[in-house]
Homo-oligomer: A and B are copies of this chain.
Amino acid sequence: MAGNSFGQLFKIMTFGESHGPAIGVVIDGVPPKLDLTESDIQVELDRRRPGQSKITTQRQEADKVEILSGIFEGKATGAPVALLIRNEDQRSKDYANIKDVFRPGHADFTYLAKYGIRDYRGGGRSSGRETACRVAAGAVAKKILGPHKIKIVVYTLAIGDIYAKKIDYNVIEQNMVRTADAKVAQAMIAKIEEVRKRGDSIGGILQCVIQGVPAGLGDPCFDKLNARLAQALMSIATVKGIEFGEGFGAAHMLGSQHNDPFILKSGKATVKTNHAGGLLGGISTGEDINIRLALKPPSSIAQKQKTLNEDLEIVETQVKGRHDPCLCPRVVPVAEAMIALTLVDCLMIQKSMELWGHAPN
């Protein structure tokens, strides 16, 4: 209830603040006999970690993961898998000057309202640092999805108003903004650098494509697959909007345009178009699930801003420290992780239905 756990059968609980000794996650429900090593997890953490390129924060964290439990001789035993990441670069002094200030766009004010106390060294649980634990747990989820042939692709669709056009999934990890259009990547990077030099930040859009999800995943009513994915992805602090299939475009469409007719393809039923984005009635159709996420510009900017402090005095604040001018490239692995965690949970729930003999498609 207190918000730090996720999942029903494949269940995680995360902990840790950016300026405490460590962050981590406990994963309950990891399949016995799964091959798992620290490097399976480290490779995903490296994709999220700070300091990986000139357009991300220059804060340096190795984010080295240690497996504390649940793995014996390289295999999962069915016991909870606990993952620990020690914090290294705790420059608390960067925060001394904002100790009692309500930074605009940050959760300082709301956390104080909620808890009556706040950890002024950083955002505490509202810091983006907690997403490292999502990525670590997501790496385990991806290992589980492997044999199921489910592939999760996430890339930067837009930085501000610069959009990727010619989509090629192969180039995503080859450019530092993680877009799927190698040409447009340069313009996006230039835009981010220009914004950062002005002490500002910029928003963007991520495109998610989930391939190979079997038809029949998700539950009716409140636990529709899109509803569960919406919670999972909207829980990433920087996400302000989410669309499935045509999304807001559907509001302008007619039923005769939006309906996807069923057709035969290699002897199997499929849909001619995919306006619905791979989901009908909240259950997967077997087609690609298409999702778009709107990311706000990061709140930490180097420009001076007027705001209040805890004594309700007007103060001028300048967020020091080393921050991301744009979050798109670093949120890519976080979004992948949240999707993977949700899918493993839904697959386990679906599997539980087979008790009485019905094997879903």
Contact = CB atoms under 8 A, between A and B. Distances in A.
A223 B200 contact: no
Nearest to A123: B281
Nearest to A269: B308
A56 interface: no
A282 B222 contact: no
Interface residues of A, number: 162
B216 A224 contact: no
Q: Is the interface of A mostly helix, strand, loop or mixed?
A: mixed
A305 B223 CA distance: 30
Nearest to A281: B107
**Assembly stoichiometry (copies):** 4
A184 interface: no
Contacts of A241: 241-244, 247-248, 250-251
A28 B3 contact: yes
Interface stretch (A42-50, A68-76, A164-172, A175-183): A68-76
B3 A26 contact: no
Contacts of A350: 114
Given A69-B23, A119-B77, A243-B240, A251 B356 contact: no
Which one of A1, A9, A102, A303 has the greatest number of beta carbons of chain B within 10 Å?
A1
A254 B102 contact: no
B294 A250 contact: yes
B24 A2 contact: no
A31 B282 contact: no
| Shortest beta-carbon contacts, A-B, top 8 | A107-B281, A3-B219, A201-B255, A110-B283, A126-B281, A3-B223, A114-B216, A31-B356
29 contacts: A1-B28, A1-B223, A2-B11, A3-B221, A3-B223, A5-B5, A15-B68, A17-B79, A20-B68, A21-B68, A32-B117, A72-B117, A105-B276, A107-B281, A109-B262, A110-B215, A110-B216, A111-B283, A126-B283, A160-B252, A161-B252, A200-B254, A202-B254, A227-B232, A241-B241, A250-B295, A253-B297, A268-B312, A354-B354
Given A202-B255, A235-B282, A257-B297, 15 more contacts: A2-B223, A17-B69, A32-B353, A104-B259, A104-B262, A105-B260, A114-B216, A114-B283, A224-B235, A246-B296, A251-B295, A256-B301, A261-B307, A264-B308, A348-B352
